[in-house]
Amino acid sequence: MGSKINFSEIAAGRYALALFELGQENFEIDKIELEAKDLQNLYKKSFDFFSLITNPTYKRNEQMEAIKILTKQFNFSKTFSKFLSFLSFKRRLFFLERILNNFLQLVSKSRGEIKAQLNSSKKLSQIELENIQKELSKNFTSKLRLDYKYDPDLIGGLIIQVGSIMIDTSIKSRLKHLEKSMIEV
Residue 185: pLDDT band with limits 50, 70, 90? low
Question: Which residue, among 166, 169, 116, has the nearest Cα to 146 in the 3D structure?
Answer: 116
- Same domain for 100 and 173? no
Residue pair 12/98 in contact by the 8 Å Cβ criterion: yes
Q: Is the pLDDT of residue 81 over 90?
A: yes
Of 55, 74, 109, the one marking the end of a domain is 109
Which 3 state secondary structure label does DSSP give 167?
strand
- Same domain for 24 and 95? yes
Look at residue 2 and tell me if it is in a domain. Answer: no
- Same domain for 72 and 134? no
Q: What is the mean predicted confidence (pLDDT) over 107-116? A: 86
SS (H, E, C) 51-100: HHHHCCCCCHHHHHHHHHHHHHHCCCCHHHHHHHHHHHHCCCHHHHHHHH
For residue range 118-159, list pLDDT tens digits in order. 898 889 898 988 888 888 888 777 778 888 888 888 888 888
- Same domain for 17 and 80? yes
Average pLDDT, the chain: 88
Which 3 state secondary structure label does DSSP give 105?
helix
Q: Is the pLDDT of residue 172 over 90?
A: no
d(CA 95, CA 87): 9
Residue pair 123/158 in contact by the 8 Å Cβ criterion: no
Strand bridging mode 165-168 / 114-120? unpaired
Give the least confident one: 5-19, 79-93, 115-129, 134-148.
134-148
Q: Give helix 96-110 / helix 29-45 axis angle, nearest 10°.
A: 140
d(CA 171, CA 61): 52
Of 52, 83, 109, the one marking the end of a domain is 109
Range of the domain at 132: 114-184
